[in-house]
C-alpha cells in the first residue's frame, strides 16, 4: 500500500469517526463513490476501532462475544457439568470463539479438551456453522503439529467441539514467563511452520497465527490450535474436489491485529503467505522479546504494519547472531 493511499484511507476514516453512527453509512457512500475498495478498507478500520482497547491482543470473535446482548442467558459450565459423555473437570481458558475446558470422556476413558460455543452465540446459526468449520478444517488435517479434533456435538442447547488434550503451555505463556532461548524459539517456529505447510497443502489458511495459538508440550512438541477462523482457499489445492463454505467475505478483518499481514488488515483475500507473515512476527517476538510493529492506536498500528521496516532483531537481542 502506497503512502498516498494510506493517507487517503486515514483521512476518510478520521472524517467518518467524527460523525454519529447513524450518518456514517451515507457519508461513506458519498465519499467512496466509485472506489468500493476504499470503503472496504475504511469499514475494516471502523470495525477494529469500535473496541480499540482490546484490539492489539484479542481476536475479533472474542470482541464480538464481549459486545453481545447483555440480556443473553448463558449456561454456566463448571466442574462436574456433563456434556453428552464428557464430564467437565476444569476450565483451561478462552480460545477463538469460545471457552475451553478439560474433560473426561466416560466412553473411551481419556482426557480431552472441549471448546464450548458461548451462550451469547448459541442462538445464531452462523456461529454454530463457524464451530463446524473449525472442526472440518482441523479434522481434514493429520499432522503431529496440528491439534486433533475428535468430535463435534450439541447437548442441552450447548454446541461444543471435542479435541485432543494438550498439556503444557502456550507460546504466549512461555514468553510471559521470561522469554526463550534462540534455539527453542527456532525449534518451536519450525514445528509450527511444518504444521502450517500441511494446512496450506490442504488449502486451509489459519488466519490467526499468534503465540496464544501455539501450544508447547512438556516434550517440546508444538501443536497449532484454533482453526476457528480458518478459511479454505481452493487456489492452494492442486487436487481438492470440494471447498468449505465461506463464512467470511472480502473486506472483513478477522484475526489478531498485531500479528496480521498488511493484506489481512485491509480485509483483502489472503492465502498461506499471510500465515507465514504472522508466523514471522511470532518468531521476531520470540527471539527479540518485542513485537516488530507498534502503534498507540489500532489505526497507527495498521499503518506501521503496512509501511514500517522493523529494526533488526539482533539490535534488540544481542545474543542473536548478526549474520
CA 55 to chain centre: 12
Contact, 135 vs 189, CB < 8 A? Answer: no
User: pLDDT (tens digit, 9 = 90+) per residue, 132-161?
Assistant: 776 777 777 889 999 988 988 889 888 888
Which residues are CB-contacts of 229 (< 8 A; sequence separation ≥ 6)?
Answer: 59, 61, 96, 97, 130, 206, 207, 208, 248, 254, 255
* N-to-C CA span, the chain: 30
Closest by alpha carbon to 75, among 162, 165, 155? 155
User: pLDDT (tens digit, 9 = 90+) per residue, 193-207?
Assistant: 999 999 999 888 998
Whether 88 shows a pLDDT value over 50: the answer reads: yes
User: pLDDT (tens digit, 9 = 90+) per residue, 100-143?
Assistant: 999 999 999 999 999 887 665 566 666 667 667 767 777 778 89
Which residues are CB-contacts of 315 (< 8 A; sequence separation ≥ 6)?
Answer: none
**Residue with more model confidence, 132 or 87:** 87
Closest by alpha carbon to 60, among 141, 127, 15? 127
d(CA 81, CA 78) in angstroms, rounded, equals 6
State the pLDDT at residue 10: 72
Question: Domains along the chain?
Answer: 3-50 (no CATH), 82-164 (3.30.200.20), 169-316 (1.10.510.10)
State the pLDDT at residue 31: 82
Mean pLDDT (whole number) for 269-275? 93
Contact, 273 vs 264, CB < 8 A? Answer: no
Which of these is catalytic: 159, 208, 226, 275?
Answer: 208
Most confidently modeled range among 125-139, 215-229, 249-263: 215-229
d(CA 291, CA 98) in angstroms, rounded, equals 26
| pLDDT bucket at 241, cuts 50 / 70 / 90 | very low
Active site residue 57: no
State the pLDDT at residue 65: 42
State the pLDDT at residue 134: 67
State the pLDDT at residue 183: 94
Mean pLDDT rounded to a whole number for the chain = 79
Q: Which residue has the cell 522493523?
A: 310
**Residue with more model confidence, 242 or 292:** 292
Amino acid at each position: 500500500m502506497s503512502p498516498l493511499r494510506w493517507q487517503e484511507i486515514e483521512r476518510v476514516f478520521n472524517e467518518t469517526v467524527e460523525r454519529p453512527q447513524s450518518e456514517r453509512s451515507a457519508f461513506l457512500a458519498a465519499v467512496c463513490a466509485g472506489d468500493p475498495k476504499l470503503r472496504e478498507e475504511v469499514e475494516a478500520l471502523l470495525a477494529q476501532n469500535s473496541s480499540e482497547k482490546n484490539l492489539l491482543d484479542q481476536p475479533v470473535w472474542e470482541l464480538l462475544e464481549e459486545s453481545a446482548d447483555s440480556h443473553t442467558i448463558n449456561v454456566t459450565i463448571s466442574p462436574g457439568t456433563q456434556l453428552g459423555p464428557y464430564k467437565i473437570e476444569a476450565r483451561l481458558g478462552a480460545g477463538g470463539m469460545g471457552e475451553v475446558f478439560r474433560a473426561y470422556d466416560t466412553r473411551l476413558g481419556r482426557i480431552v479438551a472441549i471448546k464450548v460455543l458461548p451462550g451469547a452465540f448459541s442462538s445464531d446459526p452462523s456461529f454454530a456453522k463457524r464451530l463446524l468449520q473449525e472442526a472440518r478444517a482441523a479434522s481434514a488435517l493429520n499432522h503431529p503439529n496440528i491439534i486433533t479434533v475428535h468430535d463435534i456435538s450439541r447437548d442441552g442447547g450447548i454446541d461444543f467441539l471435542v479435541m485432543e488434550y494438550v498439556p503444557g503451555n502456550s507460546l504466549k505463556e512461555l514468553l510471559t514467563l521470561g522469554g526463550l532461548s534462540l534455539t527453542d524459539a527456532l525449534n518451536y517456529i519450525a514445528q509450527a511452520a511444518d504444521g502450517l505447510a500441511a494446512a496450506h497443502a490442504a488449502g486451509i489458511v489459519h488466519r490467526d497465527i499468534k503465540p496464544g495459538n501455539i501450544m508447547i508440550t512438556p516434550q517440546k512438541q508444538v501443536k497449532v490450535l484454533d482453526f476457528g477462523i480458518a478459511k479454505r482457499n481452493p487456489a492452494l489445492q492442486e487436487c481438492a474436489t470440494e471447498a468449505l463454505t465461506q463464512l467470511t467475505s472480502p473486506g472483513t478483518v478477522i484475526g489478531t491485529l498485531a500479528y496480521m499481514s498488511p493484506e489481512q488488515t485491509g480485509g483483502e483475500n489472503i492465502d498461506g503467505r499471510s500465515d507465514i507473515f504472522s508466523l514471522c512476527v511470532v518468531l521476531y517476538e520470540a527471539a527479540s522479546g518485542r513485537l516488530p510493529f507498534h502503534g498507540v492506536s489500532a489505526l497507527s498500528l495498521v499503518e506501521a504494519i503496512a509501511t514500517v521496516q522493523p529494526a533488526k532483531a539482533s539490535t534488540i537481542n544481542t545474543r542473536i547472531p548478526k549474520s
